């Protein structure tokens, strides 16, 4: 599973932790990540142990064609 962490959304929501610390606190495990500075996002790849409820600024990408 891929998850996208919106850095601006996290800031607006008042999140003080950095994205990596916050994802660890949620219990998410990932194999690699890729910063997307132009979009103010971090993409986490091969995510496991993803909780059913995620903050609004953490999302799975939409599938192509939708």
- Residue linked to tokens 């986490």: 44
Structure tokens at 38: 């132009």
Closest CA to 61 of 51, 47, 25, 24: 47
31-58 residue pLDDT tens: 999 999 999 999 999 999 999 999 999 9
Structure tokens at 49: 């142990």
What is the model's pTM?
0.90
- Report the pLDDT value the prediction gives residue 60, as an integer from 0 to 100: 93
């Amino acid at each position: 599973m891929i998850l996208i962490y919106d850095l601006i959304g996290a800031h607006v929501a008042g999140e003080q932790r950095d994205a990596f610390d916050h994802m660890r606190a949620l219990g998410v495990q990932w194999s690699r990540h890729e910063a997307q500075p132009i979009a103010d996002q971090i993409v986490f790849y091969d995510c496991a142990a993803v909780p059913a409820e995620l903050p609004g600024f953490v999302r799975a990408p939409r599938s192509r064609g939708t």
